[in-house]
């Protein structure tokens, strides 16, 4: 009888061990799936676990000085690199030396680089991604929580720009906000009523690169 009890206890112990092992495996699989699903589509996951993606996916984005570009030439590792756009609007690439980048979209620049490389590489396939946007900026000054320079996103409005600054201080005059813009070498001033813009979509203003929002 004692031998039967020992056998039962041994089988029960093995059963609990199997259950515990299955629970651990299930938990690990769930964590792995959760980690995978949290990575944005199209983003690159690096060895240190960080995730990076392009600064913009807008095909109509115009490259400007000080932007940073990823130049990818398929199967040509020596030509693939990350380069800044110089203040003169050009980038430096092997074989091609200086290439005009500012004023072009990533697709247009990729076409130019492809044409240039055909003299040296058979059927080059070039992809260009804007890694950092440094040329397209707006500035927010005055009675806001975080005054400073901010990236200009596609179709960005004054309301969206102000949201980047973290809100207003208690002393902000929301009816007397204005946008300073340089046009044809002259500075123009556009009044902006924050509360009115919240109610009427037509009162919002599309921002341009170099605009300054002032909150008195």
SS3 203: helix
Q: pLDDT, tens digit, for every residue of 82-110?
A: 999 999 999 999 999 999 999 999 999 99
Query: Is beta strand 212-215 parallel, antiparallel or unpaired with respect to 137-142?
Result: parallel
pLDDT at 12: 54
pLDDT at 13: 55
Task: Give CA 133 to chain center in angstroms.
Answer: 8
Q: In terms of pTM, does the model score above 0.75?
A: no
Average pLDDT over the chain reads: 81
- Identify each DSSP E strand in the chain by its residue range: 44-45, 51-52, 68-73, 81-84, 90-93, 97-100, 126-132, 137-142, 148-151, 177-183, 186-192, 212-215
DSSP class of 169? -
Handedness of CA 27, 28, 31, 36 (dihedral sign): negative
> What structural domains and CATH numbers belong to the chain?
55-132 (3.30.1950.10), 137-215 (3.10.560.10)
pLDDT at 151: 86
pLDDT at 204: 92
pLDDT at 154: 79
Q: pLDDT, tens digit, for every residue of 148-157?
A: 999 888 789 9
Q: pLDDT, tens digit, for every residue of 45-84?
A: 333 333 345 777 778 888 999 899 999 999 999 999 999 9
Q: How many CB atoms lie within 10 A of CB 15?
A: 10
Handedness of CA 60, 64, 69, 71 (dihedral sign): positive
């Amino acid at each position: 009888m004692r031998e039967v009890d020992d056998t039962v206890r041994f089988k029960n112990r093995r059963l609990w061990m199997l259950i515990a092992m299955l629970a651990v495996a299930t938990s690990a699989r769930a964590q792995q799936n959760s980690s995978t699903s949290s990575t944005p589509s199209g983003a690159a996951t690096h060895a240190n676990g960080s995730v990076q993606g392009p600064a913009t996916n807008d095909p109509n984005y115009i490259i400007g000085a000080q932007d940073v570009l990823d130049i990818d030439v398929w199967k040509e590792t020596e030509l693939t690199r990350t380069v800044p756009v110089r203040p003169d609007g050009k980038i430096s690439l092997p074989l091609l030396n200086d290439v005009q980048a500012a004023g072009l979209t990533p697709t247009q620049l990729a076409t130019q680089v492809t044409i240039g490389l055909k003299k040296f590489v058979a059927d080059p396939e070039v992809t260009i991604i804007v890694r950092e946007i440094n040329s397209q900026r707006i500035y927010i000054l005055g009675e806001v929580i975080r005054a400073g320079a901010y990236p200009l996103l596609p179709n960005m409005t004054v309301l969206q720009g102000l949201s980047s600054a973290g809100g207003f201080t208690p002393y902000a005059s929301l009816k007397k906000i204005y946008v300073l813009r340089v046009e044809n070498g002259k500075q123009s001033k556009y009044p902006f009523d924050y509360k009115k813009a919240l109610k009427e979509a037509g009162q919002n203003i599309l921002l341009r690169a170099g605009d300054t929002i002032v909150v008195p």
